């Protein structure tokens, strides 16, 4: 029996491969100035902080409901697919057609709501038609009927082994909905097993896996309600397995709950507080901070972005231009 046990190789056996990788990265950086080690998120500052989503890493994107987790994931998938990366998007919550509408809005800049109800103008429909062929060519594979995590793993292995698909990354939406062939665990046990399964799959296939997950209600009891690692539901396993943890933090949900005057204006003290923070009301409504709360092999920090919930677009903060949905009526 002991004859079948394989002893791990000395770490020095990997020196040549690692040195070759270092030399390759040096050449790429000198030629292009790019510091990306993984695949892009489509957001420059987030790429600078994380060096991209890297093979073998499990990245959690967490927030309370309706903060934009799935929408940010679709923005990331679009950016990665546009660069030619093959992405499996396992959607346990939204249907394919809803995700496709999001993608149409993201790429065309046309309001998703207007597309849903048929309110878009003729020139806007032309924009949608213009991006349709781009979407057809995206190597983005969306499964909205993959209910078992075991099944998703099998699909991922098949895609990775295939020259046709050559899988580069997975987006899993979302962790707390994961199911297994065999149940019987506690809810916390199920989530812990799902988290560990995704981490092992990322290592096995040497691809990044971006897993969305929910935060508990504790975050809403703080002022300001800035997420922390302890807010992760069943946080022990998630925090332990994660290579990177990202939180979304938006001002708009809080501003929407504040009573305005007859002209739709915020109270003076709120306007003054925004001014002290260096923001106009339009900026506060559009701003979405991506908080890098954990990064196993790099620094933590906060990346400001702007989000237009009408067109479903996340963009670099330094490119902020208010869309109609974020403009303030005088």
> How confident is the model over 284-314, as pLDDT tens digits?
778 899 999 999 999 999 999 989 888 999 9
Ordered by where they begin, the domains of the chain are 37-315 (3.40.50.300)
Pseudo-torsion of CA 110, 114, 115, 118, nearest 10°?
-140
Q: Is residue 302 within 8 Å of residue 290, measured between CB atoms?
A: yes
- The pLDDT assigned to 4 comes to 77
In contact, 236 and 229? CB cutoff 8 Å: no
d(CA 304, CA 248): 10
pLDDT per residue as tens digits for the range 134-189: 999 999 999 988 878 889 999 999 999 998 888 999 999 888 877 766 655 677 77
Which has the closest alpha carbon to 71: 168, 170, 167, 173?
173
Nearest in space to 59 (alpha carbons), one of 297, 228, 231:
297
Cα distance between residue 101 and residue 43, in whole Å: 21
For residue 60, give the 3-state DSSP assignment: strand
Q: What is the mean pLDDT of the chain?
A: 83
Of 65 and 329, the structure prediction assigns the larger pLDDT to 65
How much is the average pLDDT of 246-257?
80
Angle at 327 between CA 321 and CA 330, to 5 degrees: 135
- Provide the whole-model pTM: 0.84
d(CA 125, CA 49): 37
Tokens of 269: 């003290």
Alpha-carbon span 282 to 328, nearest angstrom: 6
């Amino acid at each position: 029996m002991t004859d079948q046990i394989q002893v791990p190789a000395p770490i020095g056996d990997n020196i040549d491969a690692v040195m070759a990788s270092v030399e390759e990265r040096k050449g790429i950086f000198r030629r292009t100035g790019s510091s990306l080690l993984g695949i892009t998120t489509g957001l420059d500052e987030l790429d600078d902080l994380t060096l991209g989503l890297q093979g073998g890493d499990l990245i959690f994107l967490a927030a309370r409901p309706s903060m934009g987790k799935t929408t940010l994931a679709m923005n990331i998938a679009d950016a990665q697919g546009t660069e030619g990366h093959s992405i499996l998007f396992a959607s346990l919550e939204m249907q394919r057609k809803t995700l496709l509408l999001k993608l149409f809005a993201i790429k065309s800049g046309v309001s998703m709501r207007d597309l849903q109800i048929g309110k878009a103008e003729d020139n806007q429909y032309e924009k949608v038609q213009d991006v349709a062929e781009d979407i057809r060519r995206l190597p983005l594979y969306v499964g909205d009927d993959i209910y078992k995590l075991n099944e998703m793993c099998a699909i991922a292995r098949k895609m990775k082994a295939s020259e046709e698909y050559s899988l580069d990354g997975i987006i899993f939406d979302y962790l707390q909905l994961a199911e297994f062939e065999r149940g019987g665990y506690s809810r916390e046990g199920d989530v812990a097993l799902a988290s560990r399964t995704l981490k092992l799959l990322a290592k096995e296939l040497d691809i990044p896996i971006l897993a969305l997950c929910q935060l508990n209600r504790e975050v809403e009891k703080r002022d300001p309600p800035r997420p922390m690692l302890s807010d992760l539901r069943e946080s022990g396993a998630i925090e332990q397995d994660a290579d990177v943890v990202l939180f979304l933090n938006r001002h708009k949900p809080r501003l929407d709950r504040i009573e305005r005057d007859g002209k739709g204006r915020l109270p003076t003290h709120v306007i003054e507080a925004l001014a002290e923070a260096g923001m106009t009301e339009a900026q506060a409504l559009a701003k979405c901070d991506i908080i890098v709360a954990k990064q196993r092999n790099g620094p933590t920090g906060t990346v400001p972005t702007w989000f237009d919930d009408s067109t479903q677009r996340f963009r670099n903060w330094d490119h902020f231009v208010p869309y109609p949905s974020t403009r303030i009526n005088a």
